[in-house]
Structure 1
Amino acid sequence: MAGFLTPITEWTIRAVVVMSLCAHLVLTLFANVRRRQRSGVRTAVLWSAYQVADWAAPFVLSNLSLGSTSAEQQLVAFWLPFLLTHLGGPDNITAYSFEDNKISLRQAISTLLRFQGVSFAIYRQYKVVTSKGALFWASAAVVAVGVAKYVERVRALRSADFGNIRSARDERSPKTSIQSHGRRGEELDDDQALFVAHQLLRITKGAFADYSVKVQAFKDDNINNLEEMFSYKSGWGNMCKVVEMELSLMYDILYTKAAMIHTWGGYLIRVVSPVATGTMMVLFWFHRKDGQRRADVTITYILLMVSFLLDVRWLLGAIASTWAYAFFHARPAGWLHHEIFCSGRWHRFRRAMVSLDPGQLIFRSGRGSYRLWSGAIGQYNLFDECTHGTTSLCRRLVTWVASEDTWIEHRYSTRCKLGKPCINTSRSIRKLLFDQIQKTLSEAYPRHDKKREKEEEEKKKKGEARPVGAWAPEEADDRGARRYLLDKALGFVPEFQELVLILHVATDVFLVITSNDWQFSHTEEVCKEAIQATSNYMAFLAAARPDMLPGLNLRSLYNETREALLKIWQNGSRRSSSKHSLACTLQSMEKKNRTRSNLGSKSELQDRSFILSEGVIIAEVLLAMLSSPYPVRNIRALLGVDPNGEGDGQDWKDRDSKWRQRILFLIKLLIPGLGNNGTRGRGPYRMEQLLELLLESWVRMLINVSTRCSGDSHARQLGRGCELTTIVWILGEHASILGVSRT
């Protein structure tokens, strides 16, 4: 008989229905893992659940629609509403990857085609229930809610596309009202930072969707409130926390239904859904179940109970969300708005709901800290990779199933926690690194204090020009102009992926050589760890995520450098298996041709890899700074002076002029502060000075990478635990509008 379902098929359908429910629950519980974690068991489980949920519900619907027996038709009547809800997905996840938003138009068309099968299933349900009683109408209401949630998911995917975000912005929107949160000069707590993030979210949305945010969008009194929050001792910390919260809200827009939930239609769906499901559950309890299999009845009860609990959870979560506060704050509704949001009742309700959130039990964190960045960054070091073995069984399996990139991502993506204290000190790498970021950004976007502003106003009245390079908010309306100010302050050129590898090699050689015979102080040790962490992080981006670096994708350059270094270690330094031995081998190979008659020829190391050769030369320049007794006025003088009086400097001076010009260019480009020390007088550099110059150089490169990376690449990383470069990028966007207090 056509359309007849065999017992095996019936049990298969039951199993798939249970799988669909389990996948739905896993997505509900673990979807927020992606805010803070990019790999691991929970992420793998989440990915599997997403795939099952995308397949299970359509499979069951297509098979149930073909059933011909009364029992099969009853399954359609009772399971159809829940399968439609599963198609719509949980509120806390729509897209697993950013590419899902890119193909949202195709998914919308697929939804229309899929609704043909759904409509046929609904029609079969209408025919089978002869007594159109209360249970039927309750089921029909749940079906309508399921269809609405399915459409809502598709619309959320469409609205998360940057083109739609850009076209949907309202140029005539009311100016942002920035309220004061906390006392003047005090650090914002998590909830206060989250409320401010909602009010400044347009800056982050404009950065991702690539449209300008006018400074006039903030009233004069708003700017004053912002200066209170982002000034004084805690101002930079407040800005960093607000930016992390904004990125978490941007994650909501791109990867959840937040944009659709917090509308009048979204709230209506969440109010109706638990009412309809609860009514259906009560009516089904009293409904006669003659002819129904016990397994089907049990599955139906489970579906009803779980769906009702989830509907209640989504309703309470929507009400307790700060998105709801921002929505109603922008649309005050008279006494109701005042009674709920201004009286403190909503805040007490939110604290109660958040404390009961299963996500808090998973992350074991405070009320809002689950939205903050975890502080984990990838760490990849070329020297460690070569000296600590590269042929493990796990690596072979991963590269056989996936690729080398997947292995690097899996092993090195969370190697460093910036918030942890450094060795023998209470200071953290994060504090030192972000202080340096603040210092660098303040050079491009300094915020004038009140006293200086008054002085400038007096000068303006007298007709005196404003100092060159001073920053003013009214001049920062164009994002291109603001970026030019930063580029000018940093002095970088667009293409520099090879510069990352050159400076990484130079940093490693310098730190390895000095660590072997230098006693670092506590301050120098912290700076050294910050330099190493930033250098390894940038190398991780070059190795695993070249799309996060601007310019051409030079993956082949990284692979060639790694292979050359590995061969050098295997041939000359393998016995000791130490980074120091490898660094010394590189030094000796670079010096090998300097004593020959043809001083313009390539060195042995340069024949192997120009990245390694130039990195070692820059490291030798830094090492020479620690021992040279001569006054160092510029880098050209250093290359022409013999630091040790043994002829090496003369060799450097006589080598090919183009080669010397490139070395000079690289040093001035990568470590510009090294050539600005002409007034020091005689004597070598102190180690602390060189470490500060290296950290400053890496921070400049980090900022440049952040600002020149594409918005799509940043968006992809939001769904994978966020990225340090994304945080630095949005900090720069805020600094260009609000300015940065100098340290």
Structure 2
Amino acid sequence: MRFGSDTCWVLPFKQLQPSMCFFSLIKYVERTLALYLASLDKFKDSMIRQPDPGPNYAKLVEVYAAKNDMNMPTQIIMIDDPEIDPKSGDEVRSEIFTQLNILQFAYKYFNIFKGLVVDLIFTFQQRAESKRFFSSLEANEALQILEVELNFIYEALFTKAEILHNWIGVIFRFIALGCLIAALHIFQYKNKDQYGGFDVSLTYALLIGGVALDSIALIMFCLSDWTLVRLRKMKDDVDDLHKNWFDDILNRILRYREMKTVEYRCARSSEYEGEYKPGACHQLLDTKFIVRRWSEYVHAHNLMEYCLKIRPKPIHYNEEVKNKSRFADDSESALRVSSDRGEWTLRDIEGGNEKEKQREKLLRYVMEMDYDQSLLVWHIATELLYQTETESKENHSSREFSKILSDYMLYLLMMQPTLMSTVAGIGKIRFRDTCEEAERFIEKKQIQTRDRWWIDNTKKISEAILSVMAPAKAEPIDVKGDRSKSVLFDGGMLAKELKGLKKDGKDTYMWEVKSKVWVELLSYAATKCSAKEHAAQLSKGGELICFVWLLMAHLGLGDQFQINQGDARAKLIVGK
């Protein structure tokens, strides 16, 4: 291979040409086919089943008419197909739920629910099976299965996995590596005296680098989720999960990719609150970067601090989503349940008729507002209460969870417009107007905002906002009209209403209600975002909202399921 201002790229030996050209051809074919098959049209075509004309209706009618003409007692009855009894999660005991099981179940549901990306409709049986399985899982099991399943979706759409993980792909992978090794071998043993030292060194570097990269790719290919899951099919006998030596080997390999957690101390709780100093506030996702399947970050954006704060946050699997799924017995009820954005929780507030008036006041902040307006109001209320209410051991979990989701939802609204495009409305205008009003209010109160005691100042700002008393007939919207979209003091009014949920002076229940409302707001946004946007987000590391979207689909919450329950068969009964 020669380099120079008056020379062109040439292969030094004719023997190198076939191997190098064949290697290049394989690589270009791989990439071209991967791009072709990953297009949404081809992706959808690959999932459409073979045409099925169904039972012969014309023949049934002809036979029925013929028997009637012969005056034979004849009737047509409808027989429901027996419900498919899936091998659900009820049969899998958590103590034997291995990493191989997680991989197998993730692959199984990936092959079913990858149709979400191209808006396919799922059958009632698929919905029932998925709902039964995911409702039986523990939180960490569900999270791990969703993580692997989303990784399968990502690799199917954005990598060459579909091309490589079949027999043709395996053969071409070894042939390509063999071509590189052959080229290196030929170059090594041929006379190179006519070439300069730099040219020879560079050629060696390119060939050795190519062999090294392809060897690493081959090792990653052999240890990938796709390879391991196809080496071992899901077994029918759950009592025999530990009796196979091959399963033990696969589990040892997969253990290196297992989702890891680490204890995370909340600096705010332990440093600034003298009464309650927890040893470890959260379990933080902390998988090694090289084997991590997604970013494991929950981003945050906080109105009160006027800046974007990106930091790792713990992931919680909230029971509220699972509880809502129990009321989604069919597709119509599932659609209604998934469309709630706080109503479900607020209508269920404890207290009977005594709390009816308070329920109605709180419901205004979700039912009579646009989604983006409601989100900002609840964010402000959450921040005000977080800064002013005392933390305790009882309310810590719900309080921190509400804060995390509040900041995360504002981050989505402001920083991820494509994910929130269907529900964002004029959220950015409202946010800017609210920030402007907050700055004016802070300046008027002469509160310093940038010094080393910023936490205390944030608390002072929050207390000052809560101290503003609205006249009985002059709410913020009445004063501002259409001139400003600020919701700063609407958030303050909501915070005061939420304080009415305290029981015996304790605010644990108040934070529980607030955390459940945030789960509903997140769930609503997840289902309203298009599946294509969720899929596109996977190429950027993934987001928590993608997990919620897929979890809700698995629990039967959404609009991509058939309304009719199962199939029925017509049977002709002829009497004697």
TM superposition score normalised by structure 2 = 0.69
In structure 2, the residue matched to 1:214 is 123
The alpha-carbon deviation at position 249 of structure 1 amounts to 1.3
Q: Counterpart of 2:44 in 1: which secondary structure?
A: helix
- In structure 2, give the amino acid aligned to 1:527: S
In structure 2, the residue matched to 1:300 is 203
Change (3 A) 1:328 1:367: farther
CA contact 1:625–1:685 (8 Å) conserved in 2: no
CA contact 1:564–1:608 (8 Å) conserved in 2: no
The alpha-carbon deviation at position 216 of structure 1 amounts to 4.0
Identify the match of residue 619 of structure 1 among 461, 483, 495. Answer: 495
Change (3 A) 1:202 1:442: farther
In structure 1, the residue matched to 2:423 is 551
Change (3 A) 1:310 1:613: same
In structure 2, the residue matched to 1:286 is 189
In structure 2, the residue matched to 1:262 is 165
Aligned length: 460
Change (3 A) 1:714 1:271: same
Query: Structure 2 matches for 1:267-278, cutoff 5 A?
Result: 267-278=170-181
Matches of 2:413 and 2:147, distance apart in 1: 24
- In structure 1, give the amino acid aligned to 2:335: R
Residue segments in structure 2 that go unaligned for 5+ positions in a row = 52-83, 235-242, 258-284, 344-365, 562-576
* Pair 1:199-2:108 in alignment: yes
The alpha-carbon deviation at position 730 of structure 1 amounts to 0.5
CA contact 1:501–1:558 (8 Å) conserved in 2: yes
Q: Counterpart of 1:377 in 2: which secondary structure?
A: coil
Matches of 2:423 and 2:250, distance apart in 1: 49
Query: Structure 2 matches for 1:553-632, cutoff 5 A?
Result: 553-554=425-426, 555-575=428-448, 578-589=457-468, 591=470, 594=471, 599=474, 609-626=485-502
The alpha-carbon deviation at position 155 of structure 1 amounts to 2.5
The alpha-carbon deviation at position 688 of structure 1 amounts to 1.2
In structure 2, the residue matched to 1:522 is 393
Change (3 A) 1:733 1:289: same
CA contact 1:507–1:535 (8 Å) conserved in 2: yes
Matches of 1:181 and 1:291, distance apart in 2: 72
- In structure 2, give the amino acid aligned to 1:210: D
Q: Counterpart of 1:315 in 2: which secondary structure?
A: helix
1:264-284 superposed Cα distances (whole Å, 9 cap, x missing partner): 331121010121111111111
1:191-249 superposed Cα distances (whole Å, 9 cap, x missing partner): 4312221111034412222212324459x9xx59x95x6565x5343222111110111
Change (3 A) 1:495 1:620: closer
- In structure 2, give the amino acid aligned to 1:417: K
Change (3 A) 1:539 1:196: same
* Pair 1:150-2:28 in alignment: yes
Q: Counterpart of 1:299 in 2: which secondary structure?
A: helix
Matches of 1:310 and 1:364, distance apart in 2: 28
Matches of 2:254 and 2:389, distance apart in 1: 54
The alpha-carbon deviation at position 548 of structure 1 amounts to 2.0
- In structure 2, give the amino acid aligned to 1:512: Q
1:163-197 superposed Cα distances (whole Å, 9 cap, x missing partner): 33222213249x99969999623263434312221
Matches of 1:501 and 1:470, distance apart in 2: 29
By percentage of residues, which structure has more helix?
1
CA contact 1:190–1:368 (8 Å) conserved in 2: no
Change (3 A) 1:615 1:350: closer
Q: Counterpart of 2:542 in 1: which secondary structure?
A: coil
Matches of 1:551 and 1:605, distance apart in 2: 23
Matches of 1:176 and 1:310, distance apart in 2: 47
* Pair 1:503-2:503 in alignment: no
Matches of 1:304 and 1:162, distance apart in 2: 36
- In structure 1, give the amino acid aligned to 2:206: L
Change (3 A) 1:616 1:364: closer
Question: Percent of counterpart pairs with the same letter?
Answer: 20
Matches of 1:176 and 1:269, distance apart in 2: 41
By percentage of residues, which structure has more strand?
2
In structure 1, the residue matched to 2:507 is 687
Matches of 1:240 and 1:303, distance apart in 2: 42
- In structure 2, give the amino acid aligned to 1:486: S
The alpha-carbon deviation at position 522 of structure 1 amounts to 0.5
- In structure 2, give the amino acid aligned to 1:147: L
- In structure 1, give the amino acid aligned to 2:321: T
CA contact 1:546–1:553 (8 Å) conserved in 2: no
1:383-414 superposed Cα distances (whole Å, 9 cap, x missing partner): 122xxxx7xxxxxxxxxxxxxxxxx4xxx33x
CA contact 2:376–2:487 (8 Å) conserved in 1: yes
The alpha-carbon deviation at position 495 of structure 1 amounts to 4.7
1:303-354 superposed Cα distances (whole Å, 9 cap, x missing partner): 11121122223233323333134456689xxxxxxxxxx9755974895699
CA contact 1:512–1:579 (8 Å) conserved in 2: yes
CA contact 2:135–2:555 (8 Å) conserved in 1: no
The alpha-carbon deviation at position 725 of structure 1 amounts to 0.7
* Pair 1:77-2:11 in alignment: yes
CA contact 2:322–2:555 (8 Å) conserved in 1: yes
CA contact 1:278–1:308 (8 Å) conserved in 2: yes
The alpha-carbon deviation at position 731 of structure 1 amounts to 0.6
* Pair 1:370-2:292 in alignment: yes
The alpha-carbon deviation at position 149 of structure 1 amounts to 1.5
1:407-461 superposed Cα distances (whole Å, 9 cap, x missing partner): x4xxx33x2321xxxxxxxxxxx4xx42x3x333322x22xxxxxxxxxxxxxxx
- In structure 2, give the amino acid aligned to 1:416: P
Change (3 A) 1:513 1:255: same
- In structure 2, give the amino acid aligned to 1:382: L
CA contact 2:328–2:557 (8 Å) conserved in 1: no
Q: Counterpart of 1:380 in 2: which secondary structure?
A: strand
Residue segments in structure 1 that go unaligned for 5+ positions in a row = 11-68, 79-128, 332-341, 357-362, 391-407, 419-429, 447-468, 627-682
Identify the match of residue 380 of structure 1 among 301, 307, 310. Answer: 301
Q: Counterpart of 1:547 in 2: which secondary structure?
A: coil
Matches of 2:518 and 2:400, distance apart in 1: 12
CA contact 1:317–1:353 (8 Å) conserved in 2: no
RMSD of aligned C-alpha atoms?
4.1
In structure 2, the residue matched to 1:125 is none
- In structure 2, give the amino acid aligned to 1:545: Q
The alpha-carbon deviation at position 485 of structure 1 amounts to 4.2
Query: Structure 2 matches for 1:630-645, cutoff 5 A?
Result: none
Deviating more after overlay: 614-623 vs 724-733: 614-623
Q: Counterpart of 2:418 in 1: which secondary structure?
A: helix
Change (3 A) 1:374 1:171: same
- In structure 2, give the amino acid aligned to 1:379: A
Matches of 1:368 and 1:181, distance apart in 2: 34
CA contact 1:185–1:231 (8 Å) conserved in 2: no
Matches of 1:563 and 1:297, distance apart in 2: 65
* Pair 1:487-2:329 in alignment: no
Matches of 2:438 and 2:476, distance apart in 1: 21
The alpha-carbon deviation at position 535 of structure 1 amounts to 0.7
CA contact 2:34–2:160 (8 Å) conserved in 1: yes
In structure 2, the residue matched to 1:702 is 522
Q: Counterpart of 1:502 in 2: which secondary structure?
A: helix
CA contact 1:564–1:609 (8 Å) conserved in 2: no
- In structure 2, give the amino acid aligned to 1:440: V
The alpha-carbon deviation at position 735 of structure 1 amounts to 0.9
The alpha-carbon deviation at position 526 of structure 1 amounts to 2.1
Query: Structure 2 matches for 1:328-347, cutoff 5 A?
Result: 344=245
- In structure 2, give the amino acid aligned to 1:165: F
In structure 1, the residue matched to 2:544 is 724
In structure 1, the residue matched to 2:411 is 540
Change (3 A) 1:216 1:76: farther
- In structure 2, give the amino acid aligned to 1:706: A
- In structure 2, give the amino acid aligned to 1:522: K
Matches of 2:150 and 2:373, distance apart in 1: 29
Matches of 1:364 and 1:609, distance apart in 2: 40
TM superposition score normalised by structure 1 = 0.55
In structure 2, the residue matched to 1:441 is 322
Change (3 A) 1:236 1:151: same
